[in-house]
Amino acid sequence: MKKFQVSVEFHSGQQVNFTTKSDVRKDMYRLNINGEDCIVTDDNFVLNISKIKALKVKKLKRNSA
C-alpha cells in the first residue's frame, strides 16, 4: 500500500504534517464547504485550498523485511 507524507503550510504560518494513503496532488477530490473549495483525501483529511501557502508531498518507501 502506498503512503505519502504531506507537509502543509498555511498563510497564517501554521504548519501541519500528516501521513495519508493518497497522493493529494492526484488522488483527491474537491468539495465545496461553506462556499470554500477544499481538498478531501482518501483518509478524510480536509484542506481549504484558499488558505494553503505551500504543499509538499513525499512518497514514503516501504519497509523491507
Q: Does residue 15 fall inside a structural domain?
A: yes
Q: How many domains does the chain have?
A: 1
Query: pTM of whole model > 0.85?
Result: no
CATH number at residue 21: 2.30.30
Domain with 35, as residue range(s), is 4-59
Q: Does residue 17 fall inside a structural domain?
A: yes
What pLDDT, on a 0 to 100 scale, did the predictor assign at position 11? 96
Q: Does residue 65 fall inside a structural domain?
A: no
Q: Does residue 36 fall inside a structural domain?
A: yes
- Report, as ranges of residue numbers, the positions in the chain whose pLDDT lies below 50: 64
What pLDDT, on a 0 to 100 scale, did the predictor assign at position 48? 93
CA distances from 38 to 5, 29, 34, 35, 65 (A): 19, 8, 10, 9, 38
Q: Does residue 64 fall inside a structural domain?
A: no
